[in-house]
């Protein structure tokens, strides 16, 4: 079918109009966006092509493309984690450098789905000019984009495959790594059982409320070492997502080197480092409650006891970790009474006052005292 030059121009104009860039680069809409043009916070409209329950993420085709060796471009999908499907949660200021490093470490643990799709090239986004038609005359060819995302499916075991159109046989493209370690280094020796995480899905205020409930229960001795289960509220935004749904999302991070990007439904920039710290604190408090150490901390609150310094923070010399006999490791805040803190070394015997649970760290809080 031949198209007139005017029709070709109309198609190009229509295509260009679908992509809108905000004055402050705060919004990007449309089906054709280069990865190199993406910025954190950019707004995108995309279609969900796959939802993985196992990996707790959705994969969104937002029309983003990246250059490939040898010329041309391929479409890539963005990763929308379950935790990024929650809207309206306020977060603190971002530590940009720390977040970028953690994003890179996190992404190294999983084979990116767009890399698995990279062998299947979409038609070049820029149509070649002056192609010869059947009559041998020069004519402009039409820009076309072939959407092959619906051809691919993801098994429960993480295997990406498509079915041969002729034989109907399953053709395996690749598989996602079984290891998606999303934990802090400090928790590498702890069990990662999300079913037992009583804080999953709670906001900061709800989390602190829950901690208060646990402390009250421990003080009243109405609970055992295992706290009552708490059901996690499901995000209204995430439960409505379906394959094929069109969503408005925002760029959370971009990695031009690896050709990957992640998305969030929250228009407020999120801090990955803050999320990871929150997860660490939740798991620490959960563990303290299960082992009975939380009750011990509360019973010892206000007491002055002897302990030994087991570690000194490398980033803040005022933060010292102290082990008191019969209690879990405690952490000091500030220089303590008389300006103590600086100059203390590992192995040194100190006197501390137990302050109870440090809800910001999920550990026993202490104050260094004068000898």
pLDDT (tens digit, 9 = 90+) per residue, 310-362?
A: 888 777 777 888 999 999 999 886 555 544 555 788 888 989 999 998 887 88
Domain spans of the chain, in order of start: 5-183+233-270, 300-371
For the chain, percent of residues with pLDDT exceeding 90 = 9
Q: Are 282 and 197 in contact (CB under 8 A)?
A: yes
The shares of helix, strand and coil residues in the chain, as percent rounded to the nearest 5, are 25, 30, 45
| Of 53 and 239, more confident | 53
Q: What was the pLDDT predicted at 215?
A: 56
DSSP state of 114: H
| Of 73 and 8, more confident | 73
CATH architecture, range 5-183+233-270 = Beta Barrel (2.40)
Nearest of 250, 200, 74 to residue 149 by alpha carbon: 74
Contacts of 130 (CB under 8 A, 6+ apart): 138, 139, 140
* The two structure tokens encoding residue 40: 């954190």
Q: Which CATH number is 300-371 given?
A: 2.40.50.140
Mean pLDDT over residues 156-175, rounded?
Answer: 62
Judge whether 5-183+233-270 and 300-371 match in fold: yes
Is pTM beyond 0.85? Reply is: no
Q: Are 368 and 336 in contact (CB under 8 A)?
A: yes
Q: Lowest mean pLDDT: which of 92-96, 262-266, 268-272?
A: 92-96
């Amino acid at each position: 079918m031949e198209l007139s030059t005017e029709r070709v121009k109309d198609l190009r104009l229509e295509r260009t109009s679908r992509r809108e860039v905000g004055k402050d680069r705060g919004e990007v809409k449309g089906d054709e966006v280069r990865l190199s043009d993406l910025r954190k916070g950019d707004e995108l409209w995309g279609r969900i092509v796959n939802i993985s329950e196992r990996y707790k993420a959705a994969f969104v085709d937002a029309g983003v493309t990246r250059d490939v060796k040898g010329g041309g471009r391929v479409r890539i999908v963005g990763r929308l984690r379950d935790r990024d499907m929650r809207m309206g949660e306020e977060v603190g200021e971002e530590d940009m450098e720390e977040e970028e490093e953690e994003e890179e470490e996190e992404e190294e643990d999983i084979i990116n789905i767009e890399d698995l799709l990279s062998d299947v090239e979409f038609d070049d986004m820029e149509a070649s000019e002056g192609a010869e038609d059947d009559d041998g005359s020069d004519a402009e060819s039409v820009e076309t984009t072939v959407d092959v995302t619906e051809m691919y499916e993801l098994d429960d075991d993480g295997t990406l495959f498509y079915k041969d159109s002729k034989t109907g046989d399953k053709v395996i493209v690749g598989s996602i790594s079984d290891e998606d370690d999303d934990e802090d280094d400090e928790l590498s020796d702890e069990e990662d059982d999300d079913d037992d995480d009583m804080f999953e899905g709670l906001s900061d205020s709800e989390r602190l409320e829950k901690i208060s409930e646990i402390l009250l229960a421990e003080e009243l001795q109405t609970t055992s070492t295992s706290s009552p289960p708490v059901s996690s509220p499901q995000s209204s935004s995430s439960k409505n997502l379906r394959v094929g749904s069109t969503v408005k999302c925002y760029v959370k991070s971009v990695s031009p080197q690896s050709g990957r990007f992640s998305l969030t439904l929250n228009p407020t920039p999120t801090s990955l480092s803050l999320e990871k710290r929150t997860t660490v604190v939740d798991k620490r408090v959960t563990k303290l409650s299960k082992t009975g150490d939380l009750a011990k901390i509360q019973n010892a609150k206000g007491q002055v006891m002897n302990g030994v310094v087991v570690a000194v923070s490398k980033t803040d010399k005022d933060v010292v970790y102290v082990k008191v006999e019969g209690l879990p490791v405690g952490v000091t805040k500030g220089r303590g009474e008389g300006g103590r803190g600086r100059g203390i070394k590992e192995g040194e015997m100190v006197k501390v006052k137990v302050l109870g649970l440090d809800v910001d760290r999920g550990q026993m809080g202490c104050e260094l005292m004068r000898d």
